[in-house]
Homo-oligomer: A and B are copies of this chain.
Amino acid sequence: MEWNLDSERPVYLQLIEQIQAGIVSGQYQPGDKLPSVRDLAAQAMVNPNTMQKALAELERTGLVFSQRTSGRYITTDTAMIQQLRQRQAMEHVAAFGERMRLLGYETEEAISLIRQADALAKPKEEI
Contacts and interface: CB of A to CB of B under 8 A. Distances in A.
Contact of A102 (B25, B104, B117): B25
Interface in A82-127: 85, 88-90, 92-97, 99-100, 102-105, 107, 110-111, 113-115, 117-118, 121
Interface residues of A, number: 37
A97 B121 contact: yes
22 contacts: A2-B102, A7-B68, A8-B9, A8-B13, A21-B103, A25-B104, A85-B103, A85-B104, A89-B100, A89-B103, A89-B110, A90-B113, A90-B117, A93-B110, A93-B113, A93-B117, A95-B96, A97-B117, A97-B118, A107-B118, A111-B111, A114-B114
